[in-house]
Amino acid sequence: MPAHQLAPDIAGQDPDQILKAERAHLAVSRAALTAMREHAKSLSANAAGDWVSQQILQSLLDQRVAALADHPDTPLFFGRLDRAEDRAEDRAGDGDLPPTIYVGRRHVHDEHRHALVIDWRAPVSRAFYQASPADPMGLRLRRRFGYQGGELTAYEDEPLDQGGSLTTSKILTEEIERPRTGPMRDIVATIQPDQDEIVRADLGQTVCVQGAPGTGKTAVGLHRAAYLLFTHREKLARSGVMIVGPNRAFLSYISSVLPALGEVKVDQTTVAGLVGEHSAPEDPAVSALKGDARMAAVLKRALWAHIVKPTEGVLVTRGSNRYRVPDYEVREIVASLRGTTRYGPGRAALAQRLAHAVLVRMEQRGESPDDRVQDAVARSKPVKQVVDQVWPKLTPEQVLHRLLSDADFLARSARTDLTDEERELLLWRKPPRSWRSAKWSAADAALLDELADLIERTPSLGHLVVDEAQDLSEMQLRALGRRCRTGSATVLGDLAQGTTPWSTRSWTTVLEHLGQPSGAVTELTLGFRVPREILDYAARLLPDIAPGLAAPRSLRPGTGSLSVRPATDLAPALLTAVQDALARPGSIGVIAPDALVPAVSAALALLDHEVLSPDTTADHRLLVIPATLAKGLEYDHVIVTEPADIVAAEPRGLARLYVVLTRAVTKLTILHTGPLPPQLT
């Protein structure tokens, strides 16, 4: 039976009948998905010509079979759209679309290829997220479905053709209130209209999203990646999409969202994962200077300063013949190449140009050398010697080692870009003997990456999603920018949550350093995580950390969600607070100043808990979290210990405290033995 007869117009029926009919559609859709999977499994890769093509085809088929898996706990569809009957003219362009459309995680069709469920990313599904009584987009009704486990248990109708306004969806509220367990979930069923605008922005458009804590920036970035992969599958399969997050604990927290949306081939990494995992400790003032975009010009000069003025010509001997390219001609060739290519290809080009000059001399003597002779001359010892001498082979490490250990070389490379004091700050106090024994810092990693790109071009991806982008240095942004040089980016962050010494104060600047100056800056303003009472409390820090920023708004009042408790002894107070939280459902995060983490963990020794480290997965119910790792994470119950120590621990400690205070979904308890930071009293 074709799909559009499976779900008749059931308006006016009683709710039980409606649920029954919708469950029947779910059962039929599930069966159809199983049939699609069986069909995919039956396909053979043998049809492909050679073994390589067979291998590729087999892996594509395997991926397709995996993508068609039915996850019984995950709703196959979560919405339904009933199109207005008087819009038959609109339907003409929509091929076989039935008057009733089910919107879900993936496309499902029956044996006649009639759509039973339409992918949420398809253009026609857009109305599910965007239609309103003011602009019904050709719809009569939107229906949202509620599930428990894999069971369809509820529905909610929103009439769109009767004017007026809609009340807040109960299904959305329940989804937001649902206790958090384990890693982050997708929000595909409840994406809000302003979030959807960002998710569906064109692939060519770089979007930068400023948003207060819990406004869904991370969720939106991940859904945008899934949307782009669906809409531009072939192009992005070639060029790739990558998610860049602040640390590995965060990546582990978000790791299951894209697979749940059917996208398993997206790399998720940190900036260090991209530019190099260096972490030698360093004075924050030095790191900040190394992160300054002025370093780009200094590095460029430092690299190109290695080109030596040629003082000798080239003498190539072939058989009894000798061919000489005079020194002034070698100088001309070097000068004409300098700065027109990257450093590495420049070396190869120099060898070829010198060989060409030799070939010209051969031709002048009446010989007819071909390309093979030119290649042989380019690889000959005399040519190689000149190339190595005037355009030496270099690694990024060699150049940076010299720059940070040789005051004169640094001064020549910096010219007027750095002050005397700044150069002094950059120089290593005890230079390592060779670049091989150097211990690089995280800031050095971005400098090495810049040099690597000056030597050989870094390949660009199709799209980059950068989370917590407010924390990146200008040099790190340049490193990310070259990885989307021929693509686009989604940049996510919050100026109030900047905790590094180089955190940005302006998104326009971020986009400039990223090399995407025409990117559009937009804002998400409604918080889905943190109850209003807690958000208002945390917002007392805003005038100090981000004076220009409006106070965040929250969807939920959360009366009684905040509790601030002075204590004379932290350990028993903590134990009581944790035991209270354990008696209720949901995850518990005890956030402590980093230095206090061992003591806090010891105080909880009798309770089953884990201490979050950059490498742990974040799915233990009771976690102790060092304040510096809390960014981007959330827990139902958050217990913050000693807020004043969190502030005192680092230069941007107040911003760190703002991050820490905005992790709670249901309840925030603050325990302090010392005085609170003045902003919170």
From the list 187, 325, 461, 611, which residue makes contact with ligand ATP (rule: CB under 6 A)? Answer: 187
Q: Does 247 bind ligand ATP (CB under 6 A)?
A: no
From the list 156, 158, 161, 175, which residue makes contact with ligand ATP (rule: CB under 6 A)? Answer: 175
Determine contact, residues 77/29, Cβ cutoff 8 Å: yes
In angstroms, rounded to a whole number, what is the distance separating the alpha carbons of residues 342 and 638?
Answer: 51
2 is in an annotated binding site: no
Report the candidate in 649, 599, 642, 647 with the shortest Cα–Cα distance to residue 624.
599
Q: Which is nearer to ligand ATP, 174 or 363 (CB)?
A: 174
From the list 119, 444, 474, 494, which residue makes contact with ligand ATP (rule: CB under 6 A)? Answer: 494
Helices (H), 526-642: 532-538, 542-545, 570-582, 597-603
Q: In the numeric block, which tokens belong to residue 236?
A: 């992005």
Stretch that binds ligand ATP, among 189-197, 499-507, 531-539, 671-679 (CB under 6 A): 189-197
State in angstroms the smallest separation of the CB of 653 from ligand ATP. 17
In angstroms, rounded to a whole number, what is the distance separating the alpha carbons of residues 394 and 392?
Answer: 6
State the binding string over 192-231 for ligand ATP (x if CB under 6 A, else -). Answer: x--x---------------x-xxxxxxx------------
Determine contact, residues 165/136, Cβ cutoff 8 Å: no
Q: Which is nearer to ligand ATP, 144 or 513 (CB)?
A: 144
Q: What is the DSSP string of 18-36?
A: HHHHHHHHHHHHHHHHHHH
Q: Which is nearer to ligand ATP, 78 or 343 (CB)?
A: 78
In angstroms, rounded to a whole number, what is the distance separating the alpha carbons of residues 626 and 635?
Answer: 14
Determine contact, residues 428/455, Cβ cutoff 8 Å: no
218 is in an annotated binding site: yes
Question: Which residues are CB-neighbours of 365 under 8 A, at least 6 positions away?
Answer: 321
273 is in an annotated binding site: no
Phi-psi region of 164 (alpha: psi -120 to 50; beta: other; left: phi over 0): left
Q: Which is nearer to ligand ATP, 589 or 632 (CB)?
A: 632
From the list 125, 190, 252, 287, which residue makes contact with ligand ATP (rule: CB under 6 A)? Answer: 190
State in angstroms the smallest separation of the CB of 606 from ligand ATP. 30
Torsion angle defined by CA atoms of residues 425, 431, 434 and 436, in that order, rounded to the nearest 10 degrees: -70
Q: Which is nearer to ligand ATP, 182 or 598 (CB)?
A: 182
State in angstroms the smallest separation of the CB of 622 from ligand ATP. 19
From the list 634, 636, 642, 645, which residue makes contact with ligand ATP (rule: CB under 6 A)? Answer: 634
213 is in an annotated binding site: yes
Question: Which residues are CB-neighbours of 95 under 8 A, at least 6 positions away?
Answer: none
In angstroms, rounded to a whole number, what is the distance separating the alpha carbons of residues 284 and 302?
Answer: 24
Q: Is 132 helix (H, G, I), strand (E, B) or coil?
A: strand
Report the candidate in 476, 478, 473 with the shortest Cα–Cα distance to residue 499.
473
215 is in an annotated binding site: yes
216 is in an annotated binding site: yes
Q: Which is nearer to ligand ATP, 287 or 490 (CB)?
A: 490
Other C-beta atoms lying within 10 Å of the C-beta of residue 35: 15
Q: Which is nearer to ligand ATP, 624 or 660 (CB)?
A: 660
Q: What is the DSSP string of 437-473?
A: G----HHHHHHHHHHHHHHSPPPPPSEEEESSGGG--
Torsion angle defined by CA atoms of residues 285, 288, 290 and 296, in that order, rounded to the nearest 10 degrees: -140
What is the sign, positive or negative, of the torsion defined by CA atoms of 555, 561, 567, 570? negative
Q: Which is nearer to ligand ATP, 17 or 181 (CB)?
A: 181
State in angstroms the smallest separation of the CB of 590 from ligand ATP. 18
Q: Which is nearer to ligand ATP, 638 or 680 (CB)?
A: 638
Q: Is 225 helix (H, G, I), strand (E, B) or coil?
A: helix
Stretch that binds ligand ATP, among 191-199, 278-286, 323-331, 668-676 (CB under 6 A): 191-199
Q: Which is nearer to ligand ATP, 120 or 323 (CB)?
A: 120
Determine contact, residues 488/516, Cβ cutoff 8 Å: yes
Interacting positions 637-676 with ligand ATP (CB under 6 A): 662
State in angstroms the smallest separation of the CB of 336 from ligand ATP. 51
Q: In the numeric block, which tokens belong to residue 678?
A: 């003045």
211 is in an annotated binding site: yes
- The HSE-up count of residue 677 (CA atoms within 13 Å, CB side) is 24
Q: In the numeric block, which tokens belong to residue 667?
A: 């309840």
Stretch that binds ligand ATP, among 186-194, 299-307, 363-371, 536-544 (CB under 6 A): 186-194
Q: Does 453 bind ligand ATP (CB under 6 A)?
A: no
Q: Does 191 bind ligand ATP (CB under 6 A)?
A: yes
Site for ligand ATP (CB under 6 A): how many residues? 24
Question: Which residues are CB-neighbours of 316 under 8 A, at least 6 positions away?
Answer: 322, 323, 324, 325, 358, 377, 380, 382, 383
Stretch that binds ligand ATP, among 188-196, 329-337, 424-432, 483-491 (CB under 6 A): 188-196
Determine contact, residues 678/650, Cβ cutoff 8 Å: no
Q: Which is nearer to ligand ATP, 444 or 636 (CB)?
A: 636
Strand partners, 581: none
212 is in an annotated binding site: yes
State in angstroms the smallest separation of the CB of 230 from ligand ATP. 19
* 3-state SS track over 41-77: HHCCHHHCCCHHHHHHHHHHHHHHHHHCCCCCCCCCE
Q: Which is nearer to ligand ATP, 175 or 523 (CB)?
A: 175
State the binding string over 511-550 for ligand ATP (x if CB under 6 A, else -). Answer: -----------------xx---------------------
Which residue's Cβ lies closest to ligand ATP? 216
State in angstroms the smallest separation of the CB of 247 from ligand ATP. 12
State in angstroms the smallest separation of the CB of 524 from ligand ATP. 7
Beta strands in 164-221 (DSSP E): 207-211
In angstroms, rounded to a whole number, what is the distance separating the alpha carbons of residues 263 and 237?
Answer: 11
State in angstroms the smallest separation of the CB of 216 from ligand ATP. 3
Stretch that binds ligand ATP, among 35-43, 123-131, 184-192, 347-355 (CB under 6 A): 184-192
State in angstroms the smallest separation of the CB of 519 from ligand ATP. 18
Looking at residue 321, the DSSP 8-state letter turns out to be: E
State in angstroms the smallest separation of the CB of 494 from ligand ATP. 5
Stretch that binds ligand ATP, among 182-190, 241-249, 269-277, 573-581 (CB under 6 A): 182-190
From the list 79, 346, 632, 643, which residue makes contact with ligand ATP (rule: CB under 6 A)? Answer: 632
Interacting positions 133-172 with ligand ATP (CB under 6 A): 172
Determine contact, residues 164/96, Cβ cutoff 8 Å: no
Determine contact, residues 29/117, Cβ cutoff 8 Å: yes
Residue ranges for the known binding site for ATP are 211-218
As annotated, the binding site includes: 211-218
For binding to ligand ATP (CB under 6 A), which residues are involved? Answer: 172, 175-176, 185, 187, 190-192, 195, 211, 213-219, 494, 497, 528-529, 632, 634, 662
